[in-house]
């Protein structure tokens, strides 16, 4: 089975970190010294039970406040599969860190406190998951122990979520009742949830089929760095280093370099292990061309009859992340897209997403932290871009505030407006 990268998301205190702790504990993936440490800290604080969220909530401030602030990365494997976990914060103030964790996930586990049901932050995280294109979602109705393991309550929340999510771009959604604290239906089945006929969470995670979301059709190779040895032995070597963002490149392929439009042929592909004949998405390689073209970082190599769009005006969904500054339309930001950095301004905010109703509303003021909006962006140089739906690498970008260096926003490119 392919490795699974999953993120835990959902509102603050709904039990994400406890769930990760439980999953690691019950699958016997905790190292002895780590367990001793959380036992000792729990005991010192006078907790009634061992607080498994301490396994991932490792920062001083997190422990003081009892919340997660930033994403924790954990790696574990069962005999069936290996996993990368990104335990994200639920607090609205740290949504930017949740987005960080979810942006590379194959699957998101969204937790809902069975007592509170779907709340605003559940909706915000679901919308972000859908925008980021996370392919699979597991909705865990947690803290079932606090609602007497009520099947009715589980069904009620499921219905609520389904009604709301029907308007989102979420494909594969699975619902599970659990108690992270007591360990019900996380790794083991327990009598309290005997009415539930579906799988345990771990069983589901081990078996969910994730096709790689790599685009293997459309060749996209953003040039990252030019390798020129300047030695007598490799006097004429000029290689274009980068990481394949889409398609399969082969020696002998005819290619075009964008934005110049010059064409050539691939004469060699060097990998870390030496020459290879073809390179798939994700591979970090160096390409050699038949002709001496002027190619630099920020250019893109693709096939002559399958090119990204080369434009300066862009439609995009923008998630504003900066807590210290709001969007200023017409201010210059640095936009980073694949290996290309260019100056950019947001010329128009078309609409802002209303989190609770999923309505499009008129912007009432400048975009601020956690706003999600559809915008029009103008770049000083053209981007060599695809729609985010088509290719996550060539369809995503960030905006950097030049005065502070902060990552102000994350964007996903959309098709042009008709």
Partner 1 sequence: MRPGITGLEDEAITIIREVAACFERPVILFSGGKDSVVMLHVAVRAFAPAKLPFAIMHVDTGHNFPEVIEFRDRCLAGFGLDLTVASVQAAIDAGKVADAPSRNPLQTVALLEAIAENKFDAVLGGGRRDEERARAKERVFSHRDTFGQWDPKNQRPELWNIYNTSLRPGEHFRVFPISNWTELDVWSYIQMHNIELPSLYFAHRRPVFRRDGMLMAETEFLHAEAGEEVFEEQVRFRTVGDATCTAAVESSAVSIADVVAETSIARVTERGATRADDKISEAGMEDRKRQGYF
Ligand X SMILES: Nc1nc2c(ncn2[C@@H]2O[C@H](COP(=O)(O)OP(=O)(O)OP(=O)(O)O)[C@@H](O)[C@H]2O)c(=O)[nH]1
Residue 395's SS3 state is coil
* Residue 119 engages ligand X in binding (rule: CB under 6 A): no
Using the minimum distance from each CB to partner 1, give the nearer residue, 195 or 225: 225
* Residue 146 engages ligand X in binding (rule: CB under 6 A): yes
Cis upstream peptide for 390 (omega within 30°): no
Taken in order 285, 291, 296, 299, the sign of the CA dihedral is negative
Closest contact distance (angstroms) between CB of 406 and ligand X is 23
Using the minimum distance from each CB to partner 1, give the nearer residue, 118 or 289: 289
* DSSP H or E segment with residue 201: helix 201-207
Complete DSSP assignment for 310-354: EEEEEEEEEEE--SS----TT--EEEEETTEEEEEEEEEEEEEE-
Contact residue for ligand X among 96, 143, 220, 314 (CB under 6 A)? 143
Using CB under 8 A as the criterion, which residues of the chain lie in contact with partner 1 when the complex forms? 2-3, 31-34, 37, 41, 55-56, 58-61, 63, 69-75, 84, 96-97, 99-100, 103-104, 212, 214, 224-225, 227-231, 233-234, 237, 241-243, 270, 272, 280-284, 297, 321, 334, 336-337, 339, 392-393, 396-398, 400, 402, 405-407, 410
* Residue 86 engages ligand X in binding (rule: CB under 6 A): no
Which whole-number Å values give the CA distances from 324 to 93, 332, 407, in the listed order? Answer: 12, 17, 11
> According to CB under 6 A, which residues from 157 to 186 bind ligand X?
179-181
Closest contact distance (angstroms) between CB of 298 and Mg ion is 39
Using the minimum distance from each CB to partner 1, give the nearer residue, 124 or 158: 124
Distance of CA 135 to the CA centre of its chain: 10
d(CA 6, CA 138): 10
Partner from ligand X, Mg ion, partner 1, none binding residue 181, C-beta < 5-8 Å depending on class: ligand X
- Could you tell me if 5 and 106 are in contact, meaning their C-beta atoms sit under 8 angstroms apart? yes
* Residue 239 engages ligand X in binding (rule: CB under 6 A): no
Residue nearest to ligand X (CB): 90
Closest contact distance (angstroms) between CB of 325 and partner 1 is 13
* Residue 91 engages ligand X in binding (rule: CB under 6 A): yes
Q: In sequence order, what are the beta bridge partners of 319?
A: 372, 410
- Could you tell me if 367 and 318 are in contact, meaning their C-beta atoms sit under 8 angstroms apart? yes
Which whole-number Å values give the CA distances from 222 to 26, 177, 394, in the listed order? Answer: 43, 44, 9
Using CB under 5 A as the criterion, which residues of the chain lie in contact with Mg ion when the complex forms? 16-17, 68
């Amino acid at each position: 089975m392919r490795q699974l990268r999953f993120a835990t998301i959902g509102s603050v205190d709904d039990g994400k970190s406890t769930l990760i702790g439980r999953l690691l504990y019950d699958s016997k993936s905790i190292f002895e010294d780590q367990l001793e440490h959380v036992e000792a800290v729990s005991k010192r604080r006078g907790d009634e039970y061992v607080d498994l969220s301490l396994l991932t909530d490792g920062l001083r401030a997190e422990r003081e406040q009892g919340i997660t602030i930033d994403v924790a990365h954990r790696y574990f494997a069962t005999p069936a599969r290996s996993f990368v976990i990104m335990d994200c914060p639920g607090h609205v103030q740290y949504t930017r860190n949740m987005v960080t964790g979810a942006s590379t996930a194959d699957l998101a586990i969204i937790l809902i406190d069975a007592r509170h049901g779907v709340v605003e932050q559940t909706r915000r995280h679901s919308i972000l998951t859908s925008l980021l294109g996370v392919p699979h979602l597991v909705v865990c109705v947690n803290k079932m122990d606090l609602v007497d393991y009520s099947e009715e309550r589980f069904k009620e929340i499921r219905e609520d979520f389904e009604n709301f999510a029907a308007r989102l771009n979420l494909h594969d959604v699975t619902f599970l009742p659990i108690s992270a604290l007591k360990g019900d239906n996380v790794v083991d089945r327990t009598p309290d949830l005997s009415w539930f006929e579906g799988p345990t969470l771990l069983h589901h995670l081990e078996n969910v089929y994730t096709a790689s979301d790599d685009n293997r059709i459309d060749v996209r190779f953003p040039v990252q760095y030019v390798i020129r040895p300047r030695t007598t032995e490799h006097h004429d070597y000029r290689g274009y280093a980068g990481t394949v963002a889409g398609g399969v490149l082969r020696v002998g392929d005819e290619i075009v370099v964008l934005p110049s439009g010059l064409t050539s042929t691939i004469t060699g592909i060097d990998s870390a292990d030496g020459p290879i004949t073809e390179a798939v998405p994700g591979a970090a390689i160096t390409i050699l061309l038949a002709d001496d073209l002027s190619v630099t970082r920020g250019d893109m190599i693709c096939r002559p009859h399958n090119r990204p769009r080369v434009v300066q005006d862009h439609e995009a969904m923008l998630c504003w992340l900066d807590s210290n500054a709001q969007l200023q339309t017409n201010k210059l930001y640095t936009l980073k897209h694949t290996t290309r950095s260019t100056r950019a301004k947001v010329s128009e905010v078309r609409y802002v997403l209303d989190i609770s109703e999923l309505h499009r509303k008129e912007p009432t003021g400048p975009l601020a932290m956690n706003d999600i909006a559809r915008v029009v962006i103008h770049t000083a140089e053209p981007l060599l871009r695809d729609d985010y739906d088509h290719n996550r690498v060539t369809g995503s970008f960030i905006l950097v505030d030049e005065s502070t260096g902060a990552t102000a926003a994350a964007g996903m490119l959309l098709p042009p407006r008709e």
